[in-house]
Amino acid sequence: MNAPPRELVATAKDAGARLDAFVAARTGVSRAAAAKLISAGAVLVDGHAASKSVRLEDGMRVSVTLPEPQNAVPEAEDIPIPVVYEDDHLLVVSKPAGLVVHPAPGHHSGTLVNALLARAGAAPAGGDASRPGIVHRLDAGTSGLMIVAKDEPTHASLTEALAARAVTRVYLALVEGTPDSDTITIDAPIGRSARDRKKMAVVAGGRPAITEVRVLEKLPDTTLVEARPITGRTHQIRVHLKTAGHPVAGDRVYGGNRKLASALGLDRPFLHAARLSFEHPSTGARIELEALLPPDLATALEAARARS
């Protein structure tokens, strides 16, 4: 079953853009997924089928029929995942960089959820059937600690704790430049970018977002910081640090310098969920966990320290 067609109108700013790029930007699917939709006849330009390479003109009407989201439980896949804590109610994993958290349109397999379903013992549970047990997410390019529930009551309790700001998450980030102050509180609302719907931005009328930043180590042209998101918006730390004038090193989506990233050997943002602290929903015990920098970020940090 498919959702009703989405009717899009190209503007003067879209003139000259390829059809697949336009569909991806306006709908949020990947460009590859957009190309598949076009090939399948699910995209019409002024009422007619078109190739993915068609260049748009101002005023063209594009109709896109997207498939309905799949809510079925994903299949188990044998993907190794480091587990740093586990009991009968929950587990905490150290997600590797490059691993998507849960299936989504255009990315139905090879995710953290697929990996968790293949583990021996109690499977993740609670919340949406398509993302069982997932309490909070990390960007695909971000590594580090994540909580996963094994039952519905635990999932509900942890979700409530997150909303009440009772779960402490601390990230390590290497940012470009040197902040003026050793402690910064960035309080700026975040929403979808008007220029690129796949990106987030600080926008008037966005959802409230607060990030606390503390300088750990000043280096020649970068700074190692701790970033603590008080709220949990999509891409929050990356957007806030860019807004503060200090984008995350290696973050090509949000203003990172490509030459610096190359010099440091970074092929992803230097962002790692390093510490996690929360009250266990069943026992009330305080759980405090830490994940060391993975090798790629540790190497990049040493390269940053060695720059003159």
Instruction: List, by residue number, the catalytic residues.
Output: 139
For tokens 């979700």, name the residue: 159
How far, in whole angstroms, is CA 184 from its chain's centroid?
A: 23
Pairing mode of beta strands 143-149, 271-279: parallel
CB 124 within 8 A of CB 92: no
Query: What is the spatial distance between Cα 115 and Cα 99, in angstroms, rounded to a whole number?
Result: 10
Angle at 21 between CA 17 and CA 23, to 5 degrees: 105
CA dihedral 259, 260, 266, 272 (to 10 degrees): -140
Residue 306, helix vs strand vs coil: helix
**Long-range contacts of range 108-113, CB-CB < 8 Å, 24 or more positions apart?**
108/70, 108/74, 109/74, 109/75, 109/77, 110/77, 110/79, 111/74, 112/81, 112/146, 113/74
Where is 145: in which H helix or E strand? strand 143-149
